[in-house]
Each structure stands twice: as C-alpha cells, then as structure tokens.
Amino acid sequence: MTWIAKPPLHHPTLLRNKVGYTRRDYEGKISTLCAGCGHDSISAAIIQACWELDIEPHRVAKLSGIGCSSKTPDYFLGASHGFNTVHGRMPSVLTGANLANRDLLYLGVSGDGDSASIGLGQFAHAMRRGVRMAYIVENNGVYGLTKGQFSATADAGSKSKKGATNNDSPVDLVAMALQLGATYVGRGFSGNKEQLVPLIKGAMAHGGAAFIDVLSPCVAFNNHPGSTKSYDYVREHNEAVSRIDFISPREEITATVAPGEVVDVRQHDGSLLRLRSLHPDHDATDRHAAMAFMQEHQARGEVVTGLLYVDPLATDLHWALNTTGRALNALREPDLCPGAAALAKINASLR
Ligand SMILES: Cc1ncc(C[n+]2csc(CCOP(=O)(O)OP(=O)(O)O)c2C)c(N)n1
Ligand code: SF4
Ligand SMILES: [Mg+2]
C-alpha cells in the first residue's frame, strides 16, 4: 500500500492547534515499515508531541542515520527540514547544522545499531558537548534493516529468533548519556504513548543535549520468547519512575497536587515538567542518584522508564563556544567583515 499517497485535503472540522495546524499537518508519507513495528508508534508520538507543542513545522530539522529507525523521519513532519545522513553520522551532521542555524529545533532520530555500534563515538561527543537537540534512539536490540543481527544493546544471554545466544555485554546508552553529561535523559517504551509524548515534549523544549532511549520492539526479528526487547518482556519488566506532565509556558497551571508527591521542574524556556514520583527514592534532578537508581533496578532485571534526569539550567554548545546570538546563516557581509581598522587593531595586538 506504500504507493498510495496520503490525500492532501483534510476535513475542515479537524481540530487546529494555536499556530493553525491540524495533527495531519505533522504527518509524513505512509510508512513502509512492518505492521506492528515499534518505530511507527514512536513516529505517532513525535507527531502528537509537535502538534501539542504548537511548533511550526518549518522550525524543525529532523536528521537521522541509516536503519529502519532512521527511515522514520520520512513518516512524520513532512513539511520540516530533513537530512538522512550516513550510518552512525547523524550527530556530527546535526552538530554542523545546529552551529550554522541555531534558530531551528533539532530532532535526531537513530537506532541502536546506528548509535551504539558504528555511531558510538558520534553519540558520545554530541552528548558531552551539549549539542542542543532531542536525540531519540529507537532501540530494538537488533539491526532490523539488515535482517536481525544482534546489536550492541542486546542483553547478554538474550536469544535471537533462530535460538543463538548473545554472549556480549550490552551498551547502555542511558547510562552513557548520564555519564557523558547529557542534561535531559529518559527511557520510554513505544507501547506506552501516554508516557512517551510528554517525554518527547520535554526533550524538544530542553535547552541542551536531551537523550531518550525508546524500547521499540522489532516484530520481524526480535519479538520472541528469549528476547529482552519484545513487547511481552518490556511490558512484564517495566518499572516507571515517574509520571510526567509537560506544561508549556503559555498554559495556565491549574492542577493542585499534595506536596511531596510532585516535583515541578521549570526549564529555561519557561516550560514546566511536573514529575509525579512513583518511587520516593528517585530524584530526577540528581545525576549520580539517577545513575545509581537505574543500575540498581537494572540488576534486578527491571526496565526502568520515565524521565531519569534533568538539569533545568542546562547550557549548550553555543554557550560553550560563545557564538553570536544570531544564526550564522543570517549574518551578512557587514556583520562578518568588521573593516580595515578592526583588522589593523587585531594585527597590532599580535605584534
Ligand atoms: C557504513 C555502513 N555500514 C553498514 C551498513 C549496513 N547497515 C544498514 S542499517 C544497519 C543497522 C541498522 O540497525 P539500527 O540502527 O539498530 O536500526 P533498525 O533497523 O534496527 O531500526 C547496518 C549495519 C551501512 N548502511 N552503512
Ligand atoms: S524489520 Fe524490524 S525494525 Fe525493521 S520495520 Fe520490520 S519490525 Fe521494524
Ligand atoms: Mg535496531
């Protein structure tokens, strides 16, 4: 059915957001992924998040690598900027785009193969440098596109569809993002849209490197008993740390909740993350506590999901490099060439 184009006309009564768009305006082409693939649910959550955030589609740049996961930007935000890069190279291309034009909102979409194998170095440096973006890994524990080989996030002892055992230790991108200095770190599950949509909204509004690892079962190659990335396994072992509500700066804060149950975290743009703690011993604003909490629960075989860590005062690479506040691609010759007198002054200071 992938040759069928979506009809461009929408029903006139469809609900519009504050910038005048319907949810359909945030969709892309018809997906070519396998029916039931977790990645399609993540695309739906991204569409929902951007529509609810009232983001004008032309303000978003979506970049990806190679893989079934990296194909998904074709299926959402069809009116946004997009760049499908080389396998594992999304972070560096996104970094360059972000430095050239800081006025866009950057969405990096990747897979566990794309980010934890060939792109591990790229992932690490984007996180540690604080490149402002929402970096989403659609994690299924296999290379889906190339027919189901174990990826670097496959758990030791987990089994392939044909019964082979994976003996290698897994790379945990959440633990790495925390250690490397990412300032917004969460884990979601493609089967839990209620949790995923606000996680994505918080990441899009975040002022630094935001990372979300989304467990996203591959129904073709990794959804069998013995897999730790199947729908059944994740549902049975999921341990949610918090329930998150995202409140944009324009919304009135009306909910009243008993103190102690809720932590309000205000991000730099004024948006509010309202965290209803489901675990009294989890503090999402303490990086070291978040790491210890996650590793403790992981050792018990639990898959911890929710917002694990956030630094509301996050800074980004532009701040670190002290770049100009205006997008570089908007600077004209008079801005870039200060003139002969300024050059003479610089030369004199170097003599
Ligand atoms: C440089 C390079 N090496 C290898 C490949 C082959 N290749 C394509 S996709 C892929 C793995 C994709 O896995 P993942 O990122 O987990 O995405 P998924 O398909 O599982 O969503 C590989 C190894 C490639 N395209 N380019
Ligand atoms: S092969 Fe797996 S990851 Fe790729 S589209 Fe099919 S279910 Fe999704
Ligand atoms: Mg994969």
Q: What is the mean pLDDT of residues 213-225?
A: 98
Q: What pLDDT score was predicted for residue 155? A: 96
Higher pLDDT, 179 or 251: 179
> Can you spell out the DSSP letters for 103-169?
TSEEEEEEEHHHHHTTTHHHHHHHHHHT--EEEEEEE-SEETTTT-EE-TTSPTT-B-TTSPBP-SP
Q: What is the mean pLDDT of residues 308-316?
A: 95
- Rounding to the nearest 10 degrees, give the CA dihedral for residues 199, 202, 205, 211: -60
- Rounding to the nearest 10 degrees, give the CA dihedral for residues 207, 209, 213, 219: 90
Q: What is the mean pLDDT of residues 110-126?
A: 98
| From 64, 115, 139, 145, mutation site for ligand 1 pocket: most ligand atoms within 8 A of C-beta | 145
**Is residue 10 scored above 90 in pLDDT?**
no
Q: For 241-254, what is each residue's pLDDT tens digit?
A: 988 999 988 776 55
Q: Which ligand is nearest to the CA of 140?
A: 3
Q: What pLDDT score was predicted for residue 258? A: 53
Say how many Å lie between the CA of residue 63 and the centre of ligand 3. Answer: 17
Q: Tell whether ligand 2 has an atom less than 6 A from the beta carbon of residue 39.
A: yes
Say how many Å lie between the CA of residue 118 and the centre of ligand 1. Answer: 8
Task: Indicate which atom in ligand 1 lies nearest the CA of residue 140.
Answer: 20
Q: For 14-67, what is each residue's pLDDT tens digit?
A: 999 999 999 999 999 999 999 999 999 999 999 999 999 999 999 999 999 999
Say how many Å lie between the CA of residue 159 and the centre of ligand 1. Answer: 20
- Average pLDDT of the residues of the chain: 94
Q: What pLDDT score was predicted for residue 254? A: 59
Q: What is the mean pLDDT of residues 138-167?
A: 97
Q: Tell whether ligand 2 has an atom less than 6 A from the beta carbon of residue 28.
A: no
Q: What pLDDT score was predicted for residue 4? A: 74
Task: Indicate which atom in ligand 2 lies nearest the CA of residue 39.
Answer: 8
Backbone angles phi, psi at 111, to 5 degrees: -120, 175
Q: What pLDDT score was predicted for residue 40? A: 98
Q: What percent of the chain has pLDDT over 90?
A: 82
Say how many Å lie between the CA of residue 43 and the centre of ligand 2. Answer: 14
Paired tokens of 302: 């639990």
Q: What pLDDT score was predicted for residue 228? A: 97
Query: Rounded to the nearest 5 degrees, what angle is found at the Cα of 275, between the Cα atoms of 271 and 277?
Result: 175
Confidence of residue 260 (pLDDT cuts 50, 70, 90): low
Query: Rounded to the nearest 5 degrees, what angle is found at the Cα of 338, between the Cα atoms of 333 and 343?
Result: 130
Q: What is the mean pLDDT of residues 147-157?
A: 97
Q: What pLDDT score was predicted for residue 282? A: 85
Q: What pLDDT score was predicted for residue 2? A: 59
Q: What is the mean pLDDT of residues 69-74?
A: 98
pTM of the model: 0.95
Q: Which residue puts its alpha carbon closest to atom 2 of ligand 2?
A: 218
Task: Indicate which atom in ligand 1 lies nearest the CA of residue 69.
Answer: 21
Is-contact 182 314, C-beta < 8 A?
Answer: no
Pocket of ligand 1 (CB under 6 A): 66-69, 87, 111-114, 118, 138, 140, 142-146, 151
Q: What is the mean pLDDT of residues 183-208?
A: 97
> Can you spell out the DSSP letters for 251-286?
S-------TTSEEEEE-TTS-EEEEEESSTT--TT-
Q: What pLDDT score was predicted for residue 268? A: 86
**Is residue 102 scored above 60 in pLDDT?**
yes
Say how many Å lie between the CA of residue 18 and the centre of ligand 3. Answer: 36
Q: Which residue puts its alpha carbon closest to atom 6 of ligand 2?
A: 34
Q: What is the mean pLDDT of residues 143-159?
A: 97
Q: What pLDDT score was predicted for residue 1? A: 54
Q: What is the mean pLDDT of residues 150-162?
A: 97
Say how many Å lie between the CA of residue 71 and the centre of ligand 3. Answer: 12
